[in-house]
Structure 1
Amino acid sequence: MEKQEMLALLEQVQQGALTPEQALLQMKLQPFQDLGYAKVDHHRGLRQGAQEVIYGAGKTAEQIDGILTAMESRDATDIIVTRMNQQSADYVAQRHPMDYDPMSRLGIVHPTGKITAPGYIAVVSGGTSDMAVCEEAARTAIAMGNKVERLYDVGVAGLHRLLSKLDVLMQARVVIAVAGMEGALASVVGGLVDCPVIAVPTSVGYGANFNGLSALLSMLNSCASGVSVVNIDNGFGAGYLASMINHMGGSDQ
């Protein structure tokens, strides 16, 4: 149950359209729906401000379909499904309106394109090889009601590329810096902007990169203030956190 639904329910009680007992019954039925293989958390939007997100890896296409159907029954839109393979995406797309991106493996079911935050999030990548993680972050943020500006392949190997986009960086409310190799991009960006920077280490790089561990440690040791770090390849986590920050202080509604 979203906050708007809860308010509508309380208004019905106030107007006499529902008795307190009837409203209580509806609220009791809302917290989660047990599908056997999953317990769909319908109260997450009320508690956290964002509805449940479906992690697609390890789930069958039928299970994803069942969870989506349960969420659709409560009029959910912009439902995010992460790490979903092409076979599952093809199955789901036959049953639900979905915008699926094979690069990031992220699907948005019942996409609305609605913008609910006042500023924009800049997603910046060190190289083209980081784009899958970048797109997971960008598409997550878009599904959660944010405008996103993408600055890809502007890493420290050619710093002039990043400096040519300072106007975009400096007007962002949040920057997501995605990089593999040595992960230096986050520190550089953190030293240029006055907004929060969310660093995302990727598993891109040669042997001593240790599948992203080197970039992770570099980002954790950033000398720039205002830099936070999410897990390796966790574009979704970065997009979600950036959306929470961008929604603080009002909306364009």
Structure 2
Amino acid sequence: MDLEPILEDVSEGELSVAEARERIEGFTRVDDFARFDTRREDRNGVPEVVLAEGKRPADVASIAEQAIEKEDRVIITRIDEETKTALEDVQSSAAEVEWIEQAQIMVLRTSEYEPPVTDGTVAVLTGGTSDIPVAEEAAVTAREMGCEVETIYDVGVAGIHRMFAERHQFDDADCIIVAAGREGALPTVVAGMVDAPVIGLPVSIGYGAGADGKAALLGMLQSCTVLSVVNIDAGFVAGAQAAQAARG
């Protein structure tokens, strides 16, 4: 990090000592319970995201308020109704509020926010309609990292002709995410057809012996094609990895 511009801003009174400290440390403190990483996107292109799941709604709102003030945009994932209500005051301070209901994601932006722009393209496929919420988390993440995203849903192996009919939509993508539950076969099929990196995203859909996505995860890990695999329901991770690869 180049410290000289920061020190010059402090000496000229344009930056307080506390603000300079935050820039140097690379995170902002939220009371005594959170530290929002303000330099993650500068380091590796992946934005810091607020995971609402497991947090108190009031704490999520506090983190989001600090994040949008520092970064002009905040992405909050896995939001329940109570947390959505707690975010109302934060929403009122944003110029733009995007609510992706299927994925339970909210993106807040100020009027000063300038989105990243890349030439990367990411395709997101699902085996079934039940896989869409996790796939949407991946799609939103890749879009927020500046990629053009094409979604092709409900093209699983139970009716493989559906996927072949849509091949023109993903054949030229720079990276492809394939979300599937049950036995998780679709990523293997797609990876055997294209020359782009494919990321398998196992989804916790399906009952019986392979419940909670375990069969899908193991099936993708055992794939005979060249395939990367993320954890079960890890839509954010899949989207971020795909965007990094597509922009590469």
For normalisation by structure 1, the TM-score amounts to 0.84
* Fraction of identical pairs, as percent: 36
- SS of the aligned residue for 1:193 comes to coil
Query: Secondary structure of the equivalent of 2:160?
Result: helix
1:58 and 2:54 aligned: yes
Question: What's the counterpart of residue 172 of structure 1?
Answer: 173
SS in 2 for 1:135: helix
Aligned residue for 1:95, secondary structure, equals helix
Distance 1:17 1:207 in 2: 62
Q: Is the 8 A contact 2:68 2:108 kept in 1?
A: no
- Asked if structure 2 preserves the Cα contact closer than 8 Å seen for 1:116 and 1:247, the reply is no
Residue 150 of structure 1: how far off its partner (Å): 0.6
3-state SS, counterpart of residue 45 of structure 1: helix
What does residue 75 of structure 2 align with? 80
Report the Cα offset of residue 137 of structure 1: 0.9
Q: Does 1:101 align with 2:100?
A: yes
Question: CA-atom RMSD, angstroms?
Answer: 2.6
Kindly provide the CA deviation profile for residues 51-87 of structure 1, in whole angstroms up to 9, marking residues without a partner as x. 321110111222111112212222432x211111122
Relative distance call for 1:64 and 1:126 in structure 2 (3 A) is same
Alpha-carbon contact 1:113-1:145 (below 8 Å) kept: no
Give me the TM-score of the superposition, normalised by structure 2: 0.86
- Residue segments in structure 2 that go unaligned for 5+ positions in a row: none
Name stretches of at least 5 consecutive residues in structure 1 with no aligned partner: 1-5, 249-253
1:1-253 to 2 correspondence within 5 Å?
A: 27-30=20-23, 31=25, 32-34=27-29, 35-77=31-73, 79-96=74-91, 97=94, 98-110=97-109, 114=115, 116-225=117-226, 227-248=227-248
CA–CA distance in structure 2, aligned partners of residues 104 and 113 of structure 1? 23
2:215 partner letter: S
- CA separation of 1:244/1:161 partners in 2, compared to 1, >3 Å: closer, same or farther? same
Secondary structure of the corresponding residue to residue 117 of structure 1:
coil
Number of residues paired by the alignment?
A: 237
3-state DSSP of counterpart to 2:87:
helix
Shift of 1:27: 4.3
